Structure 1
Amino acid sequence: MASQELYGELASQLRAIPAVARELSRSCPPNCPPASLGVLAVVSRHGELRMSRLAELLDIDMSVTSRHVAHLAERGWIDRLPDPHDRRSRLLRLTPGGMDMLRAALDGVTASLADHLRDWSDQDVLELCRLLERLRTAFTADCRPRTQTITM
């Protein structure tokens, strides 16, 4: 197990991640905020899905999910179709315009990453991807309630 000092350094580095995310968001089309890009990416990855499933995958409240979906539907990037198995529900599906927007945003993000990491080797980028996936899994795989209380 790593030392407390090492975990402190990791915490410090993780606090810098929002700055990286902000810089990457600047490379997205101006009419596609990062939250919209996230929703488009999830719908693209999972195909047609119900709003409740989208909220679960994004780990956000249904009311927030509903606002995101309304925003994307207004722009013609997502269709809301009747669910043939449950007429009370809607299935969400990416439109061709939504797919075009997702591609444009991802192209911008990819170009920004390539520019900022131009002196990184493929192995370095692959290792970062592997470690970030491992970090994400460590935090999302264990959904048990926390019993330890932090006092200040």
Structure 2
Amino acid sequence: MAPATTEAARTAAELDVADELGVQLVRFVRLINKAKSQVAKQGPDGIERAAYAILFHLIHDGPQRTSKLAEALHAEISTISRQSSSLVQHGLVERQSDPEDGRACLLAPTAEGLRVFEENRRQRNRWLADVLADWPEEDRQTLNRLLDRLNSGIETSIPQVADQGSAQSKGADA
């Protein structure tokens, strides 16, 4: 975890840049959510868009218990349970017995789940390629590099629980 810095340790110029970044990130998240809601209208009937996050984790991290998925997705176990049941009903996920504890079950993607996930990924990639079509290659590479760097910085600097209340109240003003 990166050391916490006080606001006084930052210059006015650094805080101005951070404020503009905050504004742009809020705009970005809103636009991504708008795009995702449009895509959701085209998705398979009965499957919540949020359920695809479960499928993503199962494909990338392997079979998991519901409790581990809830922790990874910062969601309630009941929510993950409901969404995963929908994925099971649609044949995208299956329940397997846990080899470490036969009383428990693991959720795992099916071949159909992998196919649907890859199709969604191809659609997302085509859309992003269209968005960036008029960007020079160097700018596209720079964007990827800088987003990776930003994500890595965020991952190592997630606020502690005590800080989240003040961060959330500040975020409400954005």
Give TM-score scaled by structure 2 length. 0.74
Unaligned 5+ segments in structure 1 are none
Matches of 1:145 and 1:62 in 2, distance apart? 20
8 Å contact kept, 2:93–2:110? yes
The verdict on how the C-alpha distance between 1:56 and 1:127 changes in structure 2, with shifts beyond 3 A counting, is: farther
The verdict on how the C-alpha distance between 1:149 and 1:47 changes in structure 2, with shifts beyond 3 A counting, is: closer
Name the structure 2 match of 1:146: 162
| CA drift at 1:26 | 3.3
The verdict on how the C-alpha distance between 1:122 and 1:42 changes in structure 2, with shifts beyond 3 A counting, is: farther
Name the structure 2 match of 1:66: 81
Matches of 1:9 and 1:69 in 2, distance apart? 38
Matches of 1:67 and 1:122 in 2, distance apart? 42
Which has the higher relative contact order, 1 or 2, with Cα contacts under 8 A spaced 6 or more apart? 1
Runs of 4+ in 1 over 4 A off after TM superposition: none
Unaligned 5+ segments in structure 2 are 1-9
Structure 2 residue corresponding to 1:34, chosen from 39, 46, 49: 49
8 Å contact kept, 2:96–2:105? yes
Aligned positions, number: 152
Amino acid aligned to 2:161: P
Name the structure 1 match of 2:26: 15
What RMSD, in angstroms, separates the aligned Cα atoms of the two structures? 2.5
Matches of 2:84 and 2:100 in 1, distance apart? 21
- Largest Rg, 1 or 2: 2
Q: Percent of counterpart pairs with the same letter?
A: 28
